[in-house]
């Protein structure tokens, strides 16, 4: 049994699906179902006894402790977080509550559970904390990519809250001996990505004939990783990562935002041409920049390759094509997210399990 938090979100849901595609080891999935949590992402697991969903908050110590004792997981993987940088700028409270206080509460619940385990189970237990490259701050154009030794210089409320969570995880290892692993990943993309983030937003806006808002000059660089590659990296770190270590995960795909938007437009021009024959690129609009916008992120993913033998499978070309195709084939999912109808669907489909 493994215990996943935030498993109804973008990466968490991909992870749960990926896990159960590779293993019959059951998953307890604790998710608060914020605006970003969507059980429709896990619709293919309905009726699958290997997936036990519980709606709840990682900051609810009594609930987490009860679930841990009841299900006796050998590992906890923490995806639960507020994840969107723009939202953190407009309203940081939830970010501090879930990413900092929530991680602290989770650590305490896990520590109490772990300390009471018999020796063999205690030895084997792992807490894997999923974090971000944004904790390292911004990189100059000619600076080497982030290694695991890079100084923490978070610049947004989101990245500061994630940096705080990483420090808490580190301290719980150092002080209490909790067997932790931390992963710091670059920008993910792929199926079930909430359409507030760059790539899915550009796809859905393009198809709806809306403007494609590029912040500032669009020359900010992000390093893109197909979400299923992130999932395989997490499985690998869980299996073989060295206790207390951090691993940077990236796809070796540094690209300026404007190039990403043009690539999405080109793929849509090919796969779903506009009725007027023009390119979707005519919808690109440069808008005011994000406050404090980090200019460049880049992950040096050599440690995880050297020590654990992990490399991404997808190139950006293969991953982005799959992603655009997925959004074209899943218009219902997009519509449900945009109208908020996915919440009704959850109520109807999971009424008995939610809050179990």
Name the residue nearer to ligand NAD (CB basis): 83 or 156. Answer: 83
Number of Cβ within a 10 Å radius of residue 243: 11
Separation of alpha carbons 215 and 176, rounded Å: 44
The catalytic position among 134, 223, 254, 294 is 134
Please list every residue from 53 through 112 that binds ligand NAD, using CB under 6 A.
57-59, 79-83, 98, 102
**Of the candidates 12, 190, 241, 312, which one interacts with ligand NAD according to CB under 6 A?**
12
C-beta separation of 61 from 108 below 8 A: yes
Q: Residue 38 and residue 53: Cα distance in Å, rounded? A: 12
Cβ pair 302, 241 in contact under 8 A: no
Select from 18, 31, 166, 314 the one that contacts ligand NAD (CB under 6 A). Answer: 31
Q: Pull the structure tokens for residue 255.
A: 């690209």
Q: Is 82 a catalytic residue?
A: no
**6 is a contact residue toward ligand NAD (CB under 6 A):** yes
**Start-to-end Cα distance in the chain:** 17
Stretch 131-160: interaction string toward ligand DAU, x if CB under 6 A: -xxx--------------------------
Residue 274 near ligand DAU by CB under 6 A? no
- The whole-angstrom separation of Cα 261 and Cα 280 is 10
Please spell the DSSP secondary structure of 289-356, one letter per residue. Answer: PPTT---B--B--HHHHHHH----S--HHHHHHHHHHHHHHTHHHHHHHHHTHHHHHHHHHHTTTTT-
Identify the burial level of 266 via C-beta atoms within 10 angstroms of its C-beta, where 0-12 means exposed, 13-18 middle and 19 or more buried.
middle
Can you tell me which of 4, 11, 198, 346 binds ligand NAD, judged by CB under 6 A? Answer: 11
Catalytic residue list contains 226 = no
Of residues 290-319, those binding ligand DAU (CB under 6 A): 290, 297
Q: Which does residue 257 bind out of ligand NAD, ligand DAU, none, counting CB within 5 to 8 angstroms by kind?
A: ligand DAU
Q: Is 134 part of the annotated catalytic residue set? A: yes
Residue with CB nearest ligand DAU?
Answer: 132
Interface segment toward ligand DAU; rule CB under 6 A; list 33-41, 122-130, 195-203, 300-308: 195-203
Let me know if 208 is exposed, middle or buried by CB neighbors in 10 A (0-12, 13-18, 19+): exposed
Q: For ligand DAU, which residue of 163, 214, 264, 298 counts as binding (CB under 6 A)?
A: 214
8 A C-beta contact, residue 58 and residue 102: yes
* SS3 label, residue 55: strand
| The one catalytic residue among 133, 166, 229, 300 | 133
**From 113, 136, 158, 280, the catalytic residue:** 158
Find the helix or strand (DSSP H, E) in which 225 lies: strand 221-226
Nearest CB to ligand NAD, comparing residues 12 and 218 = 12
Smallest gap from residue 37 Cβ to ligand NAD (A):
3
CA 335/CA 337 separation, integer angstroms: 5
- Which residues are at the interface with ligand DAU (CB under 6 A)? 83-85, 132-134, 186-187, 197-198, 201, 213-215, 220, 222, 257, 290, 297
Active centre residues (catalytic): 133-134, 158
- Which residues are at the interface with ligand NAD (CB under 6 A)? 5-6, 8-12, 30-34, 36-37, 57-59, 79-83, 98, 102, 130-132, 162, 185, 187-188, 194
């Amino acid at each position: 049994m493994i215990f996943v938090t935030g498993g109804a979100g973008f990466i968490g849901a991909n992870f749960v699906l990926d896990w159960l595609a590779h293993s019959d080891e059951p998953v307890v999935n604790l998710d608060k179902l914020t605006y970003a949590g969507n059980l429709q992402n896990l619709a293919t697991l309905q009726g699958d006894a290997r997936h036990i969903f519980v709606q709840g908050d990682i900051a609810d110590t009594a609930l987490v402790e009860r679930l841990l004792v009841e299900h006796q997981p050998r590992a906890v993987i923490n995806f639960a977080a507020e994840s969107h940088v723009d939202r953190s700028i407009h309203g940081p409270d939830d970010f501090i509550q879930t990413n900092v206080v929530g991680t602290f509460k989770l650590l305490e619940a896990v520590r109490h559970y772990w300390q009471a385990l018999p020796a063999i189970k205690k030895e084997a237990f792992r807490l894997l904390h999923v974090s971000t490259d944004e904790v390292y701050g911004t990189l100059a154009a000619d600076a080497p990519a982030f290694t695991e030794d890079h100084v923490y210089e978070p610049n947004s409320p989101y990245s500061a809250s994630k940096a705080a969570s990483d420090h808490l995880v580190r301290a719980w290892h150092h002080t209490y001996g909790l067997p932790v692993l931390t992963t710091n990943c670059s920008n993910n993309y792929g199926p079930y990505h909430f359409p507030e983030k760059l790539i899915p937003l550009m796809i859905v806006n393009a198809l709806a004939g809306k403007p494609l808002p590029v912040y500032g000059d669009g020359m900010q660089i992000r390093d893109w990783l197909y979400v299923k590659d992130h999932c395989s990296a997490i499985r690998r770190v869980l299996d073989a990562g060295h206790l207390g270590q951090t691993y940077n995960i990236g796809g070796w795909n540094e690209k300026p935002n404007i190039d990403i938007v043009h690539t999405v437009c080109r793929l849509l021009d090919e796969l779903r041409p506009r009725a007027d024959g023009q390119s979707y690129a005519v919808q690109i609009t440069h808008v005011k920049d994000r406050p404090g916008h980090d200019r460049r992120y880049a992950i040096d993913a050599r440690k995880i390759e050297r020590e654990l033998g992990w490399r991404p499978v997808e190139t950006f070309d293969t991953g982005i094509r799959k992603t655009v195709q997925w959004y074209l084939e899943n218009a219902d999912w997009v519509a449900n997210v945009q109208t908020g109808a996915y919440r009704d669907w959850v109520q109807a489909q999971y009424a008995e399990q939610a809050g179990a």
